[in-house]
Structure 1
Amino acid sequence: MSRYRRATVPGALYFFTVVTFRRRPVLTDERVWAALRTAIATVRHSHPFLIDAWVLLPD
């Protein structure tokens, strides 16, 4: 599991990049997209945040 540094600046904007293990194209599967959306919604329920924009690339 990655260990991200977390800043606690109210209203701050963050940009980060995450890649899949060995850059496998698992993010091209619609079931994976659905699981990602569900995970984000679950986390957002207990830790509210906004995503202004995101780009999901196949690799």
Structure 2
Amino acid sequence: MELAGWVTVGTAAVVGGFTVVGHLFDQVPALAQKMITAIQSVRAVLEEVKAGRD
């Protein structure tokens, strides 16, 4: 009976791990788009700073 408990705990841990990893991978496209926007903003600021020096 003790083995059944450990199997249940192991199975729950594996399923929980896959659920968390799946959720994290679902966030990648949204975070990537936000990062692209941030990089474009930083580049625009750098261009303004360079233009101001001339």
TM (norm. structure 2) is 0.35
Q: Higher relative CO (CA 8 A, sep ≥ 6), structure 1 or 2?
A: 1
Q: TM-score, normalised by structure 1?
A: 0.33
Structure with the bigger percentage of helix:
2
